[in-house]
Amino acid sequence: MREIDAETFLETMRQNTRFNLVETPLGVCVEMDWVDAFCFAYCTDSTYFDCHIYPFSPGRGLLQVSNMALRFNLEGGNVFDGSSVKHSPLVWNQNGKEYLFQGTKYILPVQTNSQQELKRLRRGWIDDLDNEESFDSTDFVLLHIDSSKNGNGMEKFLEYITCYHYKEQGWVVDNQLTISHDIGTPDFTAFKDSTCDVGYFLVELMLEFAGHRIPQIHSNITRNVVGEAKTGTSAFETQLRKYLGTGFFDQGFGLLPQEKRLSTYDLGLVYIDRGGDLSVTASEINHSDENRQGAFFNWLLNLQTCYQLLNGDEQEVIEFVRGVF
């Protein structure tokens, strides 16, 4: 199985996104505005250079609103703590993390085989950036490529680049929507209103307070897809079929760093081809159940409203959640 290292990451980003590769005091980075960098860090669990001991990431499930599809509850997920909002971009902004929501950011891929080595490098880079007039340490976002893990632990990058691809095709995308404890959390989910041409990361709806606007919300959802990512192995089928067995999704995809010959005709594949381009091979088989999918689409609509309400008064969003279920 092909391993994605720092060089492969940069080349994949160069070939498959609209972002530029730029030289910085820390090396070659991917340049993004703060919104794109936030979405990248959210999807990949990448960390900002705000602290050399406990660096912050908006990922790691912190913005998970619910721990089960078709439901909302104030104790499920990580956003609510029962009676208030514990985690949200707005809360973070109010508590000293304004740097997340401003300026240009630089994604730095760093490959090590231990957390200790990573901490040592991060401390040195933060110290070096203290002497830079043109950069702040919080301008940088670190993507850790972990050589100690199978496939360099780069499943989340496959999730991100697939999300990015579908977003550019006009879909709403996410990689942290839990179905249930038993079924799990798909590595990739996308849904679409056929009348909307502009896609977005679902989490972008939480960034309105900082001036970011989505031109048109996907409110008449007509189709969706789901995916399971693997890097250390190519065996994605068993878990993917758990997601498809819910009846929520039209199509399912395996997300791999290289092509695989599929032994069945009812699953699709998203992979990085030999030339470095992201390729999508879809199946024509529809796995959805009309009633179950309809309930899931309605839940996604309420979820989008919840995300938007998290830009304002916390009591309003709490009342909304209590009113929905």
Locate the domains of the chain by residue range. 6-73+86-151, 155-324
Give yes or no for a contact between 10 and 30, defined as CB atoms under 8 angstroms apart. yes
In this structure, what token pair is assigned to residue 259?
Answer: 């092509």
Please state, in angstroms and as integers, the Cα–Cα distance from residue 84 to each residue in 44, 81, 175, 177, 309, following that order: 27, 6, 25, 21, 13
Give yes or no for a contact between 69 and 296, defined as CB atoms under 8 angstroms apart. yes
Rg for the chain, CA atoms, rounded: 19
- Report the candidate in 240, 239, 279, 241 with the shortest Cα–Cα distance to residue 259: 279
Q: What's residue 77's pLDDT?
A: 85
Please state, in angstroms and as integers, the Cα–Cα distance from residue 280 to each residue in 10, 53, 75, 121, 252, following that order: 20, 39, 38, 37, 11
Q: What's residue 92's pLDDT?
A: 98
Residues 274, 163: Cα–Cα separation, whole Å = 20
Q: What's residue 76's pLDDT?
A: 79
3-state secondary structure of 280: strand
3-state secondary structure of 107: strand
- Report the candidate in 324, 311, 322 with the shortest Cα–Cα distance to residue 63: 311
Please state, in angstroms and as integers, the Cα–Cα distance from residue 267 to each residue in 201, 244, 249, 252, 253, following that order: 24, 10, 12, 6, 6
Q: What's residue 75's pLDDT?
A: 85
Q: What's residue 63's pLDDT?
A: 97
For 203, how many CA atoms within 13 A lie in the half-sphere containing its CB?
29
If residue 21 lies in a helix (H) or strand (E), which one and from where to where? strand 20-24
Alpha helices in the chain (DSSP H): 6-16, 34-44, 89-94, 115-129, 155-168, 237-244, 290-309, 314-324
Q: What's residue 311's pLDDT?
A: 98
**pLDDT tens across the length of the chain (325 residues):** 789 999 999 999 999 999 999 999 999 999 999 999 999 999 999 999 999 899 999 999 999 999 999 998 898 789 999 999 999 999 999 999 999 999 999 999 999 999 999 999 999 999 999 999 999 999 999 999 999 998 999 999 999 999 999 999 999 999 999 999 999 999 999 999 999 999 999 999 999 999 999 999 999 999 999 999 999 999 999 999 999 999 999 999 999 999 999 999 999 999 999 999 999 999 999 999 999 999 999 999 999 999 999 999 999 999 999 998 7
